[in-house]
Chains A and B, each alone.
Chain A
Amino acid sequence: MTTPDSQTFNKDQSTQEQYFTPNLSGRYKWDTVFASFTWLAVGLSVVILAVLLISVVWDGFPRLASDFWGFLTNFPSRKPEQAGLLSALVGTVWVMITVAIFAFPIGVGAGVYLEEFATDNWFTKLIEVNINNLAGVPSIIYGLLGLQLFVRFLEPMTGGRSILSGALTLALLILPIIIVGTREALRAVPDSIRQAGFALGATRWQVIWDQVFPIAIPGILTGTILALSRAIGETAPLITIGALTFISFLPENLQSQFTVLPIQIYNWVSRPQAGFHTNAAAGIIILMVVLLAMNGLAIFLRNKFQKRG
């Protein structure tokens, strides 16, 4: 700052200091209060998570320890100790791969278009508002849409109550999340990079593909994996479109009938016999392992891209 007369400025300050008492201890106290509040928030969530994990592992581990392989490779049964989740596990893997194949390119494509290509007019604004609203629509609504559109209307293509119908329904469910995530990731790329690219005579395509994408890909992958993690736990839309509960053969193609882990777990939880409750806890552990493996893959991919970028 420039003052015409530095002496008067200093004088002003010294007179002000007489009225101004810093109250440092009071400020630090607020600092500590806020810090301890955030610590409490973190601590509570960690404790709740820990209690949940410990109780699930406590209940389910004996079942896994006694017959881990059988639990993974048996079909459902009326006898809890013989029941396994092979059909549900394989169904979940099929559905999740299909969901990723459909949702990733479409979601990322839509995000790139809206962020990098679309001009700012009423039409894009309308799309934006709708996408943000769709992210908050309850999943059962998507189930009803999927039932009418994929199961009934497109039956010749999807095969009715099939993996394809289920995966398309879940893909619709998570598309808004992927689109929003992609846009956030692209927005985090500094504009100076785009401008530098254009200044050097690069086309829009070259700027996006060679400059923006490598930086944004880790963020896009994070968004995608969060979306897929939501899809893997969904039960309601799949029950609505007619996913099965008891099935003792494996899917042969995308038009096969199927069940998924959350449905199998829910069924076991609500049975009267205590043996099934143990199975449900063991099933939850398996579901968590599948989820962690998926997240691990995403983190691996992300780190790979980050190093190169």
Chain B
Amino acid sequence: MTLRRLPIRLFSLGLALALAACTSSAPTGEEDTAASDSGDGGEAQLEGDVQIDGSSTVFPISEAMAEEFMADNRGARVTVGVSGSGGGFKKFCAGETDISNASRPIKETEIELCAENGIEYVEIPVAYDGISVIVNDENDWAECLAPDQLGMMWEPDAEGEVNNWNQVKDDYPDQELSLYGPGVDSGTYDYFTEAVVGEDGESRGDYTASEDDNVIVQGVQSDEGGLGFLGFAYFDENRDTLKAVSVENSAGECIPPSRGSIADGTYNPLSRPIFFYVKKDSLENNPVVAAFAEYQISADNKDLITEVGYIPLPEEIVDKAIARLEDGTTGSIFEGGTSIGVKLGEKL
């Protein structure tokens, strides 16, 4: 008898659970959307949701800011997703998020998509990152490389052709050259190729690509002729086992990546700003979004940016960014183009 009933019990239990789950959640259906749309809160206590999504490069900054912001404002609920700069803009321009993180400026196609859906946004630079070119610890010849030389290694025509260090410069040793870099979807890749090859997203295909920068670190660590590029924080954490190559800047000086040289702009062209984009509608109608956006660029919180491995913006740029946020200036200062060679201070 028990044999007959057990499966029945199991089934009815499952059904009951499913029904209970459906009915209990049905009446609260409006809650989420209502909270994120209006987000009304008292003067003293901020209450409401902030939905952030986008670049994995900017994620550590958002995480740190959200953590501290929520410790100060118990009623605020900030959530951060990681779907890449491009994936973030897709959601942002569909009106699904309040803030979109990006490691590159918004592209022409994304500007059009946002315009189609009537999404206006305020573009705010939040920090600097320096793309670091790294080589193996044993490498004692590559001290300084010019963007042209990097371009020669990475350009599409180099595929299968440039595979020895002595092809880069005559006095370099006869050592096999192997390349490591982020995958083609990443903003770091876009910026680097634009800066050294001259064409956004154009490079040779026969390099070791990884979405995880730690894999690039490991690759170069174990490969005497290896060369790779990645975010400054990854080089900074692995200083003991890697070397960074100095890069010749526009003034012809060889500059190694460092917090100082990235902040003052001498480490060019590989120092880049990273951004977040705030939906204007949320900024005006949701005080929590406005408060969080201000919190994120406030000079009081620049230690958080340093702590997670990025370089805070200089004060004059922060002031201009704050003004931009307060005025609600919409649109992109890059107009769909690149941020290479753009002086943020002048453009903002």
Q: Decide whether A and B are members of one complex.
A: yes
Indicate if the CB atoms of A267 and B96 lie closer than 8 Å.
no
User: Provided the pairs A161-B96, A217-B7, A308-B6 are in contact, do residues A270 and B237 lie with their beta carbons within 8 angstroms?
Assistant: no
* Residues in A235-280 with C-beta less than 8 Å from chain B: 239-240, 242-249, 252-257, 267, 269-274, 277
Cβ-defined contact, B14 with A105, below 8 A: yes
CB-nearest residue of chain B to A275: B237
Given contacts A210-B4, A242-B91, A255-B31, contact A271 B60 (CB under 8 A): yes
A159 to B308 Cα, complex, angstroms: 33
Instruction: From the candidates A213, A249, A255, name the one contacting B29 in the complex (CB within 8 A).
Output: A255
- Chain A residues whose C-beta falls within 8 Å of the C-beta of B3 in the assembled complex: 210, 214, 308-309
Quick check: which of A36-44, A59-67, A96-104 contacts chain B, the rest being far away?
Answer: A96-104
Q: Is B307 an interface residue (CB 8 A)?
A: yes
Interface presence of A166 (CB below 8 A): no
B142 within 8 A of A: no
Query: Is A30 part of the binding interface, using a Cβ–Cβ cutoff of 8 Å?
Result: no
In the bound complex, CA of A246 to CA of B77 (Å)? 11
Within 8 A of B (CB), among A76-124: 76-78, 98, 100-102, 104-105
| B40 is an interface residue with CB less than 8 A from chain A | no
A49 at interface, CB cutoff 8 A = no
1/0 per residue, CB under 8 A from A, across B261-301: the answer is: 00000000000000000000000000000000000000000
Are A272 and B82 neighbours in the complex by a CB distance under 8 Å? Answer: no
B100 beta carbon closer than 8 Å to chain A:
no
The residues of B that contact A277 with a CB separation of less than 8 Å are: 214
Chain B residue with Cβ nearest A152: B94
Q: Mark B55-66, 1 if CB is under 8 A from A, else 0.
A: 010011011101
Contacts of B7 in A (CB 8 A): 209, 213-214, 217
Q: Are B307 and A78 in contact (CB under 8 A)?
A: yes
A127 CB–B CB distance under 8 Å: no
Mark out the residues of chain A between 213 and 247 whose CB falls within 8 Å of any chain B CB in the assembled complex.
213-214, 217, 239-240, 242-247
A270 touching B81, Cβ below 8 Å: no
A244 touches B231 (CB 8 A): no
Q: Are B79 and A247 in contact (CB under 8 A)?
A: yes
Contact with A along B12-46 (1 / 0, CB 8 A): 00110110010011001101110000000000000
Smallest CB separation, A152 vs chain B (Å): 8
The answer to whether residues A98 and B21 also contact, given A248-B67, A270-B211 and a CB cut-off of 8 A, is yes
A157 at the interface (CB under 8 A from B): yes
Q: Are B309 and A272 in contact (CB under 8 A)?
A: yes
Which A positions have Cβ atoms within 8 angstroms of B?
76-78, 98, 100-102, 104-105, 156-157, 159-162, 164, 209-210, 213-214, 217, 239-240, 242-249, 252-257, 267, 269-274, 277, 305, 308-309
A sample of 8 inter-chain contacts (CB < 8 A) reads A105-B15, A156-B29, A159-B33, A242-B53, A245-B63, A272-B213, A272-B238, A308-B3
Which residues of B does A touch, CB under 8 Å?
Answer: 2-4, 6-7, 11, 14-15, 17-18, 21, 24-25, 28-29, 31-33, 53, 56, 59-60, 62-64, 66-67, 70, 77-83, 91, 96, 211-214, 231, 233-234, 236-238, 304, 307-309
Starting from the known contacts A160-B33, A210-B4, 10 additional A-B residue pairs (CB-CB under 8 Å) come to A160-B32, A160-B96, A209-B4, A214-B7, A239-B81, A242-B81, A247-B80, A255-B32, A270-B56, A272-B234
